[in-house]
Amino acid sequence: MPDIAAVKAALAAQRIETPSWGYGNSGTRFKVFAQQGVPRDPYEKLDDAARVHAYTGVAPKVSLHIPWDRVDDYAALAAYAKERGVELGAINSNTFQDDAYRLGSVCHPDPAVRRRAVRHLLDCVDIMDATGSADLKLWFADGTNYPGQDDVTARQERLAESLAEVYARLGDDQRMLLEYKFFEPAFYTTDVPDWGTAYAHCLKLGPRARVVVDTGHHAPGTNVEFIVALLLREGRLGGFDFNSRFYADDDLMAGAADPFQLFRIMHEVVRNGGLAPAAGIAFMLDQCHNVEAKVPAVIRSVCNVQEATAKALLVDADALAAAQRDGDVLAAHAVLMDAYDTDVRPLLRALREERGLDPDPVAAYLRSGRQERIAAERAGGDQAGWGA
Amino acid sequence: MPDIAAVKAALAAQRIETPSWGYGNSGTRFKVFAQQGVPRDPYEKLDDAARVHAYTGVAPKVSLHIPWDRVDDYAALAAYAKERGVELGAINSNTFQDDAYRLGSVCHPDPAVRRRAVRHLLDCVDIMDATGSADLKLWFADGTNYPGQDDVTARQERLAESLAEVYARLGDDQRMLLEYKFFEPAFYTTDVPDWGTAYAHCLKLGPRARVVVDTGHHAPGTNVEFIVALLLREGRLGGFDFNSRFYADDDLMAGAADPFQLFRIMHEVVRNGGLAPAAGIAFMLDQCHNVEAKVPAVIRSVCNVQEATAKALLVDADALAAAQRDGDVLAAHAVLMDAYDTDVRPLLRALREERGLDPDPVAAYLRSGRQERIAAERAGGDQAGWGA
Amino acid sequence: MPDIAAVKAALAAQRIETPSWGYGNSGTRFKVFAQQGVPRDPYEKLDDAARVHAYTGVAPKVSLHIPWDRVDDYAALAAYAKERGVELGAINSNTFQDDAYRLGSVCHPDPAVRRRAVRHLLDCVDIMDATGSADLKLWFADGTNYPGQDDVTARQERLAESLAEVYARLGDDQRMLLEYKFFEPAFYTTDVPDWGTAYAHCLKLGPRARVVVDTGHHAPGTNVEFIVALLLREGRLGGFDFNSRFYADDDLMAGAADPFQLFRIMHEVVRNGGLAPAAGIAFMLDQCHNVEAKVPAVIRSVCNVQEATAKALLVDADALAAAQRDGDVLAAHAVLMDAYDTDVRPLLRALREERGLDPDPVAAYLRSGRQERIAAERAGGDQAGWGA
Amino acid sequence: MPDIAAVKAALAAQRIETPSWGYGNSGTRFKVFAQQGVPRDPYEKLDDAARVHAYTGVAPKVSLHIPWDRVDDYAALAAYAKERGVELGAINSNTFQDDAYRLGSVCHPDPAVRRRAVRHLLDCVDIMDATGSADLKLWFADGTNYPGQDDVTARQERLAESLAEVYARLGDDQRMLLEYKFFEPAFYTTDVPDWGTAYAHCLKLGPRARVVVDTGHHAPGTNVEFIVALLLREGRLGGFDFNSRFYADDDLMAGAADPFQLFRIMHEVVRNGGLAPAAGIAFMLDQCHNVEAKVPAVIRSVCNVQEATAKALLVDADALAAAQRDGDVLAAHAVLMDAYDTDVRPLLRALREERGLDPDPVAAYLRSGRQERIAAERAGGDQAGWGA
């Protein structure tokens, strides 16, 4: 049976990175509903992220999205974060919101557009140098909408060339995390549609290129934890963009749509050594809080990842291995389910209290009155969103 | 074997309705790419639609979307359309872009919001009275994103009540067309997610309530033509929102993603008498031309629906029935495929020439120089899009 | 907050029906793996089912499948069941394993085949009269594999006619439960592919025709609990075939693939009064234990349904309604999740002990040595399977 | 514009391999419907395959499945094939129908079972030596049904080890073709579920290990032609198992469910040089004719692949490249669609007549009276099927 002290230690050591854009407005193509108290600039986003960390104790890092989080002085931004108790995490590039990118960015048929996109990626590495961020996270909206629109193979060549140029620019302590996505915004081909494509590119780039698994970026029915196990085995898993989905890339709160899947993913992470800091797995959120309050939604998501991790740590590995070895299907399944069926909330409440935190982070945040405060204070100005 | 003259007559009699919003800008949640020459108001949209009809000869109707096409004088708008050779078609309501609709419209838990939504629907009927439109097309973005967020059954009650009030307001020659959609923008429950739900509501409303089939609004793998056949058998098919998709509600040009499916749909329409005017089936497009030129894309889509219809009309119904009766799987399948494999473009070219049209509508439009003209003329002002 | 005594009472009153064929061999088109100790006749299946009830206390009914469970004297079979503490439940027809049914049964183009199928269904009603079964459960494998193979509308007519004849034969206390299925074994059209089709037929048949929801019979992504809520609202939910799936109709143990979905389904059942005996909802299992031991797998499945039910009963309905009324998305979601995150195994263990049962039914069964005993005793003879 | 003589030459040079098991009985888990005239042994299967080649002129190879096609003397079987004008193609292994394989074969937790499976694969290489077959085609039914049942990573290790042993045994002119499959018969994890997994294993094995794309083995919505283009670019596409599907691995006739997809696949093949013999792409069918007559269904499938190939050859590559370079979405799409919309049946009829064949292979076969002859002659004996 797992040692509870060890489980707690592992949970206390876990680091979950929250996305700056999760604090801003977001929506669907039909409507972005603005909310009260939404940050107006990267500094206010860091304020929000700092509260999430203050209440959960496990979210000390914040991913940035460029240009949405563009500032004049990134060192100052990093210092601001540090003062508030958090630090800047992965730098996310954006090559999909300029008018030039209608037909793609790094895969665009026009070399001038590709150049512009690569230059943006190189800028992002400059920003990493300034912020001390270790990871360049790349997601490309590139693809086509109609059969015949462009040439699949030619686009792969352009992609490979662009990535190689950016990879060559990285410092020794910097990594490239390549994200794949099944579809959207492209509706016929997507240039990095699956883990296999991302993996093939990473292999050619070098050891510091790794694949990011966004849990919402798969075809219906895809066994995501299988991919996680495979990439860990290959040493090519760079991290996660956690969120949840019932249909497509719904970007709901992690653990909200399929908590059992999140548990199975964390089980593969634990089983394959992915929780150890040396494994270099970045546990990031990438979510949109379209209809729910944003800060509490991020806190809830962090807690959901924690709960899934706690359950995964509670799996009796010896009993599981024994039942698997014996080919006892029901017994092996039961060992896993015993951990999943456990209510780990008391354990996490105890852990938080030991660390001087409120046992219920969402309730504590809501009680604090901060939400009303920022709703009042953050009047005027332009609320942050995907476009800014 | 089908009689070619009869086939041509049926094709010449077909009416395909184009959507005013298809001429405006559209995109995904990631980006709306503006295009040159996009209409700035409903009048310019009608100008574009009129060109589509001028070149194809089968697109004399234009669907409006309220409030995107709001004008002060709808009778004047109708007169303007008529001058240009087209007429106003279905009125599409919009209960998803006000801030009040964050948690729904006609299904919202707050009666004040429901009232507002119903009032909008009643306004739409007023507009129908002014424009002479016969169909009120209702699509609701209502739904929930999280399990527990709201009560499924209560929302159904609210929906039924709202629909009943609007149905009661319809004139004797007016119909309510209720559209269903699998998901988006709601990501957990959608209040009218499938044809069964729409059908059940229509049954209770009365004979002038019918179901609209949007070809992109189904779960992966759904046999859409089966639904079409069923609804025709029940007398409850009101019409189509044609478009095509590879993944979700991609809203690509009709016939671009799966031309064989479009043919199979039109085969069921033809087989079940849906092409006859008395059947009252509205053949509408509902598409987004995110990356391609809009007017030629609409022309192409109209031609694609025509081609699918032509192939469906070429099915040798007697031979098919005989093979089906004999249980000869391969022979029956072959009869259908013979029609599908036929290149009907020569037939359609001939038909167009007989009717005094250019045999190749897209090429003729492009040659006309109009696209360059509107690109120049429509400078300044606010381009039409989903928000306006 | 829910009253624990009331929760326990509801759980004690629940009745879960197990399928006779779940005790026999099953598999995929690739291979049926025989297991030791599998029943050789309907009597031995009842022996197994009786043990499931003995250990769980909530599985007193057994569904039969005709002709797999054909015996000479059904009254004797019913008496045998009663002696062992169980009773005969729904009668499941089989119109897919005769050579005549290659192109369908009640929808077959040949009236002689349809007659044969209807006659079988009428035989099943005779059996119901003999066994005292109240429910005729109909699932049709009918459909087509190729576009054009047969006529969708004509098949619907034949289906309606066949069902009407059988419905007319039912006694006043007998019901027809019509099951739908997305696909398999037909691969192009299925004649009852979705709840809407089943519902439309039931409406025409009469009040004793109801829809059965098999949890594995939907398109990917379908919101099953929404359908459950709708059918309960319409008074047309007849019951469930519980099982679970990751991909298609995988027929895994209920609750094994998506325990959260099973909870959400039971939440809609509880919320909409479906747990009350007067609602007439049959909670049946329909599973295949291809690789795992059968009797313990059925016990586990029964327990999984119980656990989902217990969690659904623990939902704080008042708090949920209040949060929903307030439009507080996160609070409403949290109320539901609080119930789901609760470990209900202690509650169920306590309930079992109060009722004189072993707190852990699977463990108790395995300890009993019965599995070894039947493996030894049931040597020789033909093991039961789908073909017999 | 493509040169018609070159198109014809390419079509005449194409080689489509038919599967021996396609001539035998097959079905679903619900029922295998026996047909008249089905072969009783591998020799009769070759007789059928020889007729398919005789009528189409492009199907000179026959895939074998071991043990279904086990004979005492494989050299004699090869000689028999040669006499009839065909030759033996890929050897397909079978590690899913022994009772030992309940929990897997090369991934089984028990080393003794893995040994047995590897020994079978080595036997298949011996058979290749005897028949002169160049390709060992491997599909593994390995996987698990329940979370926790076995260890994903450990199974990958066992798989890698088993494949390495078999790869080492291959001769210099022999290849290993590794097939992936999304699901079925395993319902939770499949050990080679996607092209990425197959590709990763092939990379480690060596240059003669390649991936096979079965067109029915993907998640819903997967862009298969993208995978084809990628594997061709990587030099790792070994060949195809053509068939078609609406839902899962339906194994319908190639081109029957989505002829446009088949065309898009062949377009990528042509575009990326895959039609050249030097590319080493094996164009194989892998289908089940559950409800339709088998030999004519295979002929029809061969013709469908030919038609898709003809259309792909008709794509105006220069015009396409120019439109793609210009970013003209509609023009590029139109170039592709022009080829697809062409009725290529006259071209193929002409080609066949030039080669001394009947222009309509299915009709010619049916007219020949052979089907009635084999129905009469092949009475008695055990019909071939998946079990034998």
The tens-digit pLDDT sequence of chain B (388 residues) is 789 999 999 999 999 999 999 999 999 999 999 999 999 999 999 999 999 999 999 999 999 999 999 999 999 999 999 999 999 999 999 999 999 999 999 999 999 999 999 999 999 999 999 999 999 999 999 999 999 999 999 999 999 999 999 999 999 999 999 999 999 999 999 999 999 999 999 999 999 999 999 999 999 999 999 999 999 999 999 999 999 999 999 999 999 999 999 999 999 999 999 999 999 999 999 999 999 999 999 999 999 999 999 999 999 999 999 999 999 999 999 999 999 999 999 999 999 999 999 999 999 999 999 999 999 999 888 999 986 4
pLDDT of residue C217: 98
A327 interfaces chain C, CB cutoff of 8 Å: no
Which of C343, C366, C367, C371 is the best residue to mutate to test the A interface, defined by the most A CB atoms within 10 Å of its own CB?
A: C343
- C169: which residues sit within 8 A by CB, 6+ positions away? C122, C125
Question: Amino acid identity, residue A80?
Answer: Y
Give the separation between CA B70 and CA B124, rounded to whole angstroms. Answer: 10
Taking contacts as CB-CB distances below 8 angstroms, the residues of chain D near C102 are 33, 291
Is 70 exceeded by the pLDDT of residue A387? no
Tell me whether residues A233 and D150 touch, CB distance under 8 A.
no
Residues counted in chain B? 388
Tell me the two tokens of residue A313. Answer: 């740590």
**CB of A370 within 8 Å of any CB in chain D?**
no
How far is the C-alpha of D75 from the C-alpha of D1, rounded, in Å?
A: 47
Please report residues of C whose CB lies closer than 8 A to that of B260. 147
Q: Tell me which chain B residues have a C-beta less than 8 angstroms from the C-beta of C197.
A: 196, 230
Nearest to C185 among D31, D101, D182 (CB): D31
Question: Which residues of chain B have a CB within 8 Å of the CB of C194?
Answer: 194-196
Task: Report d(CA B57, CA C174) in Å as an integer.
Answer: 58
Contact (CB<8Å) C333/B151: no
Inter-chain CB proximity C337 and B150 less than 8 Å: no
B67: preceding bond cis by omega (within 30 degrees): yes
Whole-number Å distance between alpha carbons of C65 and C228: 25
Chain C residues with beta carbon closer than 8 angstroms to that of A363: none
Give contacts of C258 with chain B, Cβ < 8 Å: none
Distances (CA, A) of D207 to A196, C325, D202, D279: 18, 64, 8, 13
Residues 6 or more apart from B79 whose CB is under 8 A from it? Answer: none
Cβ of B330 within 8 Å of Cβ of D296? The answer is yes
User: Tokens 């001058």 map to which residue?
Assistant: B83
Q: Which residue has the tokens 């040396």?
A: A278
Substitution target from D142, D149, D187 for chain C, most C beta carbons within 10 A: D187
All chains having 3 or more CB pairs closer than 8 angstroms to chain C: A, B, D
Cα–Cα distance between A127 and A133 in angstroms, integer? 8
**D248 contacts in chain C (CB < 8 Å):** 183-184, 247-248
The verdict on D112 touching A (C-beta cutoff 8 Å) is no
Is A36's Cβ below 8 Å from some Cβ in B?
no
C30: nearest CB among D96, D253, D257: D96
Within 8 A of C260 by CB-CB distance, chain A residues are: 258-260
At A253-265, the pLDDT tens digits run: 999 999 999 999 9
Q: How do B143-144 and B189-190 pair as beta strands?
A: antiparallel
Distance from CA of D307 to the nearest CA of A (A): 18
Q: Looking at chain D, how many residues does it have?
A: 388
Calculated CA dihedral for residues B343, B345, B348, B350, nearest 10 degrees: -100
Chain D CA closest to residue C103: D291
pLDDT digits (tens, 9 = 90+) for A154-201: 999 999 999 999 999 999 999 999 999 999 999 999 999 999 999 999
d(CA B318, CA A320): 63
* CB proximity list for A278: less than 8 A, separation 6 or greater: none
Contact call for A297 and C330, based on CB within 8 A: yes
- Window 250-269 of C: residues touching A by CB (8 A cutoff) are 256, 258-260
**D143 touching chain A per CB within 8 A:** no
* Confidence (pLDDT) at D1: 76
Chain A residues inside the 8 Å CB shell of C297: 330
CA–CA separation, C322 and C335 (whole Å): 10
A contact test, residue of D99, D149, D311, D320 with most A CBs within 10 A? D149
Rounded Cα gap, residues D32 and C99, in angstroms: 9
- Tally Cβ neighbours within 10 Å of residue C165: 16
Q: Is D15 exposed, middle or buried (0-12, 13-18, 19+ CB in 10 A)?
A: middle
pLDDT of residue A2: 85
DSSP for B119-175, written as a single string: HHHHHHHHHHHHHT--EEEE----EESSTTSS-HHHHHHHHHHHHHHHHHH--TT-E
How far is it, in rounded angstroms, from Cα D180 to Cα D160? 14
DSSP D253: P
* Whole-angstrom distance, CA of residue A318 vs CA of residue A339: 13
Structure tokens at D11: 């079509």
Report how far residue B240's alpha carbon sits from residue B284's, in angstroms, rounded to the nearest whole number.
Answer: 5
Distances (CA, A) of B44 to B48, B75, B200, B374, B384: 6, 16, 39, 10, 9
Q: What residue in D sits closest to A272 (Cα-Cα)?
A: D153
> Looking at residue D387, what is its pLDDT?
64
| Pick from D194, D64, D76: nearest CA to D134 | D64
Angstroms from C185 CA to nearest CA on chain B = 15
Q: Is D224 exposed, middle or buried (0-12, 13-18, 19+ CB in 10 A)?
A: buried
B187 touches A at CB < 8 Å? yes
CA distance C140 to chain D (A): 11
Q: Which two tokens stand for residue C232?
A: 């309960």
- State how far residue B50 is from chain C, nearest Cα, in angstroms: 37
C306 CB contacts (<8 Å, ≥6 apart)? C11, C14, C16, C56, C58, C348
Contact A343 C342 (CB under 8 A): yes
Beta-carbon contacts below 8 Å between C and D? 108
Residue in chain B nearest C100 by alpha carbon: B327
Q: Which residue's entry shows tokens 């209960």?
A: B95
Main-chain phi, psi angles of D205, to 5 degrees: -75, -45
D55 and D364 Cβ atoms separated by less than 8 Å: yes
Whole-number Cα distances in Å, A320 to A6, A323, A338: 18, 5, 11
CA A267 to CA A315: how far, in whole Å?
Answer: 8
Position C380 scores a pLDDT of: 87
* C3: exposed, middle or buried (Cβ count in 10 Å: 0-12, 13-18, 19+): exposed
What residues of chain D score a pLDDT lower than 70?
387-388
**How much is the ipTM here?**
0.97
Looking at CA atoms only, how far is residue D292 from chain B in angstroms? 6
Q: Does the CB of D229 have a partner CB in chain A at under 8 Å?
A: yes
* CA–CA min distance C105, chain B (Å): 13
* Beta-carbon separation of B297 and D256 below 8 A: no
Nearest CA in chain D to C182: D247
Query: What sign does the CA torsion over D220, D222, D224, D230 have?
Result: negative
Q: Please, where are the H alpha helices in chain D?
A: 4-13, 42-56, 74-83, 111-131, 152-169, 195-205, 224-234, 259-271, 294-313, 317-325, 329-341, 345-354, 361-367, 370-377
Q: Closest CB to A99: pick one of B33, B184, B220.
A: B33
B 190-219 residues inside an 8 A Cβ radius of C: 190, 193-197, 199-200, 203, 218-219
Q: What is the pLDDT of residue B79?
A: 97
What distances in angstroms separate CA B45 from CA B37, B80, B86, B326, C291, one per listed residue?
11, 11, 12, 52, 62
Dist. CA C86–CA C57, nearest whole Å: 10
Residue of B nearest to D261 (CA): B258
Provide the 10 A C-beta neighbour count for residue B143.
Answer: 26
Q: How far apart are the first and last CA of chain D?
A: 50
> A373: buried, middle or exposed (CB in 10 Å: 19+, 13-18, 0-12)?
exposed
Q: Where are the domains of chain D?
A: 4-377
Q: Does B35 touch chain D (CB under 8 A)?
A: no
CA-to-CA distance for D80 and D76, rounded, in angstroms?
A: 6
pLDDT at B2: 86
Taking 70 as the pLDDT cut, the residues of chain C under it are 387-388
Q: How far is CA A302 from the centre of its chain?
A: 11
Cα separation, C25 vs C27, whole angstroms: 7
C-alpha of C22 from chain center: 11
CA–CA gap between residue C24 and residue C288 (Å, rounded): 9
The residue of chain C nearest to residue A223, with distances taken between CA atoms, is C246
Instruction: Report how far residue A238's alpha carbon sits from residue A211's, in angstroms, rounded to the nearest whole number.
Output: 5
d(CA B37, CA D192): 50
Strand partners, C63: C19
User: ∠ CA A360-A366-A370 to the nearest 5 degrees?
Assistant: 130
CA distance D279 to D236: 10
- Chains in contact with A, where contact requires at least 3 CB pairs less than 8 Å apart: B, C, D
CATH superfamily of C4-377: Divalent-metal-dependent TIM barrel enzymes (3.20.20.150)
CB atoms within 10 A of CB C355: 12
In whole angstroms, give the CA distance from residue B187 to residue B191: 11
Interface mutation vs chain D, best among B302, B330, B335, B342, most D CBs within 10 Å: B330
Q: What is the pLDDT of residues A278-290, one digit of tens each?
A: 999 999 999 999 9
Q: Does D187 touch chain B (CB under 8 A)?
A: no
Rounded-to-integer distance, Cα C141 and Cα C193, Å = 10
User: Which positions in chain A touch C341 (Cβ < 8 Å)?
Assistant: 307, 343, 345
- pLDDT of A386 > 90? The answer is no
Q: Which residue of A has its CA nearest to C245?
A: A221
